[in-house]
Amino acid sequence: MASSSVFLSSMVGKARSSNFTLSEKLDLLKLVRPHIRILEEHTNKHAVIVDKNKCWDTVAEQYNALGGDRPHRTAQGLRTLYKRLKESAKQEVMQRRHAQPEYRASISEPTRRIMEMIPHLFHHVPIHEKDQALRRSE
């Protein structure tokens, strides 16, 4: 019994927020779209970082103003979700490309929207071409 009280006391800290629903993810992508040029700028300049932070603050304000029964989300939480959605979209597209045609599912709505907003994320050299290049160099 003593060990369980130690375990509980070690769990004190920041509470986990609830998972994002599909509609919350789609709302975020809709709000991010007008800021995509700034948010996808990959330079490490102070001015760019300041602009990105302002964008995320604006997106968070707009997101939380949507109301409904959704929980309040921070700019950092939304930023993290956006990053996860992009990574998930890349994975989904790569898996779909390498699946047998009869097993290819349709892509998810968040992935479709990310592909529209950031098409350059998905311009990869197909895996089989990479494999052939690696074999030639061995």
DSSP character for 67? Answer: -
Cβ 29 vs Cβ 117: under 8 Å:
yes
* Per-residue pLDDT at 9 exceeds 80: no
The residue assigned the tokens 């197909």 is 126
Mean pLDDT, the chain, rounded, equals: 82
Output b/e per residue, 74-86; b: 16+ Cβ within 10 A. ebebbbebbeebb
Domain boundaries, the chain: 19-137
pLDDT range class, residue 131, cuts 50, 70, 90:
very low
pLDDT digits over 97-113, tens only? Answer: 887 777 677 889 999 99
Cβ 115 vs Cβ 122: under 8 Å:
yes
